[in-house]
């Protein structure tokens, strides 16, 4: 990103149940003040409600929680009072982009552009969590392929901006760019 800046951007990638959220929580635990940006939305899906409840229980209660599924650029720009912003996760953000802007690719790209621009000079350090979905089977349906491709593009763009990119495999962090640590880089 930018040398000498006290603010760092870290992207944590991995498959389902690879330990990426747990690792991101470890990174954020070292910061004085943390804002957790949740991209999951409450729905009538019991499994998703249980997952949201589990994630809430895993993070410290003194952290500020912000729920935003689509306008991540604005959320990042509002983080001046926190030392660290933890975004969990870009996987759901990509799904929301397709849901809202899927028929209008230019709006989708504008949203992603604004998000990436906000990451270039963030007001605080940022840790982002995302799934790595490009290593699996090619989805049978066109919407699944569009989703896989969109998330892959978002991950590539964020990785290009990030100071550190960590790939989680079986609960182990592997440095792809920068270095691996267990403490927040603020």
| pLDDT(48) > 60 | yes
pLDDT by residue (tens digit) across 152-183? 999 999 999 999 999 999 999 999 999 888 76
pTM: 0.89
SS (H, E, C) the chain: CCCCCCCCEEEEEECCCCCHHHHHHHHHHCCCCEEEEECCCCCCCHHHHHHHHHHHHHCCCCCEEEECCCCHHHHHHCCCCCCEEEEECHHHHHHHHHHHHCCCHHHHHHHHHHHHHHHHCCCCEEEEEEECCCCCCCCCCHHHHHHHHHHHHHHHHHHHHCCEEEEEECCEEEEEECCCCCCCCC
Active site residues per annotation: 55
pLDDT by residue (tens digit) across 52-77? 777 777 778 889 989 899 999 999 98
What are the structural domains, with CATH classification, of the chain?
9-16+29-165 (3.40.50.300)
């Amino acid at each position: 990103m930018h040398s000498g800046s006290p603010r760092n951007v870290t992207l944590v990638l991995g498959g389902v149940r690879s330990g990426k959220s747990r690792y991101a929580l470890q990174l954020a635990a070292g910061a004085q003040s943390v804002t957790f940006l949740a991209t999951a939305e409450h729905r009538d899906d019991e499994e998703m409600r249980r997952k949201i409840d589990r994630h809430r229980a895993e993070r410290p209660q003194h952290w500020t929680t912000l729920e935003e599924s689509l306008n991540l650029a604005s959320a990042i720009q509002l983080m001046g009072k926190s030392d660290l912003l933890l975004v969990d996760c870009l996987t759901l953000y990509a799904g929301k982009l397709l849901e809202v802007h899927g028929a209008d690719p230019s709006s989708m790209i504008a949203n992603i552009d604004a998000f990436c621009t906000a990451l270039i000079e963030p007001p605080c350090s940022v840790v982002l969590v995302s799934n790595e979905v490009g290593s699996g089977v090619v989805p049978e349906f066109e919407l699944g392929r569009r989703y896989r491709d969109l998330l892959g593009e978002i991950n590539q763009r964020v990785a290009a901006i990030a100071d550190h990119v960590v790939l989680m495999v079986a609960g182990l962090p592997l440095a792809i760019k920068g270095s691996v640590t267990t403490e927040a880089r603020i």
